[in-house]
Structure 1
Amino acid sequence: MAPDENDAADDKPTYTEKGKAFDRDMSYIPDRITKVVDGAPRRPEHGPVEGELWPVEPGRYRLVAAKACPWANRSIIVRRLLGLEDVISLGMPGPTHDKRSWTFDLDPDGKDPVLGIERLQEAYLARFPDYPKGITVPAVVEVATGQVVTNDFPWITHDLFSEWRDHHRPGAPDLWPDDVREEMEAVMQRIFTEVNNGVYRCGFAGSQEAYDDAYDRLWTAMDWLEERLADRRFLMGDTVTEADVRLFTTLARFDAVYHGHFKCNRNKLSEMPVLWAYARDLFQMPGFGETIDFDQIKAHYYVVHTDINPTGIVPKGPDADAWLTPHGREVLGGEPIQPW
């Protein structure tokens, strides 16, 4: 079993024969944008420095992030929560793409209005003419040169918080609290391997055995989250952190896509009282629900993944209005994101 070629531009499946489990290619452009100290970008306090360092500079970069993609959706949420809209512009490709690239088919004349390109691929090739990997979102592009800077999605959101602090809005949330950072990284790692990526390991499994293993691991983690969130409003306690952002983008897609399309069907998210209430709580906060477009999400998965859904038929449900129903999480206290 081989993945459809279209997936090369998004989720990068790397199984190549029947019987293989889904293996996400996590090698991205390792460059990072960091705070300028003494006239040069400094070495970041956390994480690897395997590529080039680029300076934080308002107006220099454009974040390209499709609403349809959960990994890109993270960066849209974090940019919004931190109030970086006037500092880093946002380009949004449409929900579907071909085997070559995400395209700006939602923009007038099918071109990004700032970069002037039809395909995100053009920004990758402008810097790496022989770029060998999939064209993924999110990607940060230097506006003046039209060249991609990085597509390393975990570090993009991390650095929007840690390196762009001088440009955050007043009252921006502390998405990486120092006092829980070590525990939070462990929580996020489990969420990534078992949930964020776990739904893909179910959907792209190349054998019954691989699927069964992925399914069991996913639901073990979902049950763990249901228990963890029973007596705390957010994953790390009373405030929203990056961990909540990373979990939310998967939960927002669960019933609309992953439950059926990826065969993650032990039960729906809406049938898990705690996780469903938690997801609605976040959805109804500024910066979260406003970034979700269920029509784009469904169009992406059901149209692009032709190996899983060869008819290309996009389901009409579920009813998105359910996300606006009362969640009752206020009784747990905490400090939700307030309008600004």
Structure 2
Amino acid sequence: MIPLSILELVRVSDVTTPRIALDQARDLAVHAEKLGYQRIWIAEHHNFPSIASAATSLVISHLAQATHTIRVGAGGIMLPNHAPYIIAEQFGTLAHLYPNRIDLGLGRAPGTDQLTLRALRRSPQASDTFPQDVVELQSYFTDEASEQRTVAVPAAGTHIPLWILGSSHFGAMLAAELGLPYSFASHFAPDQLLSALEIYRRNFRPSKQLQKSYAMVGVNIIAADTDEEARRLATTQQMSFTNIFRGARGYSLAPIDNIDTYWSPLEKAQVQRMLARSIVGSVETVKKGIADLVAETNADELIVVSDVYDQEARLKSFDLIMQAVKSN
């Protein structure tokens, strides 16, 4: 059975609040742990009213405190937004609070717009030093870090596993060169999925952290009792992506019966391209979709986004997704 994990966006809807969204994310982590999910990751986004995960390390602590065995981490920290030293301090602290359960996925994108990037006091050119920043960050977690002049207390010796996140060949090559696990964001940028995985595996160099390549594939999966109901639930995510193209960053919206009444033909084409790898349907439909994706990509793990408006329907979706994998 392929390991399943969750990418949690901490969605705020038009009828909830950030506090409700944070507690729903916590409840999802508890639910996922009982179901046997491998890990739950929090994504860093800024200036999105519908996403309450900007303070990523704090959200990770909120989820980790409520659980016991599931791995909790960042999927990811957008490293150009931060000094590596600060991230080492934050995640070193998390590692001491929740031993052997913290992951640190790293992305090169800002996770926001240029105006917000300036508010973060970061230069758009900060991403140019991403490879060096990853190496610097990694050094703070080693045993030898405690002997350095500048110590990121209490990170030294925690050996937090780093991941490289990406949606292009750049991340694949960097993960391969550094000998790190790689997670491809095909849940919103599927175009280069297969070629990026091929580059990563072909160029992988063993490291202290990882002896053999390990690729995780991001995928949108929405499961319900019937294909029809799952397609209806999926309209929430389709509307969210449509709104991005419109320059609107509103709250998550309740599903609708006919998505074609919401988007234009051009918007439909744009959204469908971004969501091309989505798997939507009943347990049997999801079972086939997952089997086909794993066969095509040879993924070592899947990390699932199930962007469902109603919390109970969302918990049920993750339950049905696990059922589908266990029945394969």
TM-score normalised to structure 2 length: 0.29
Structure that is richer in helix per residue: 2
TM-score normalised to structure 1 length: 0.28
Structure that is richer in strand per residue: 2
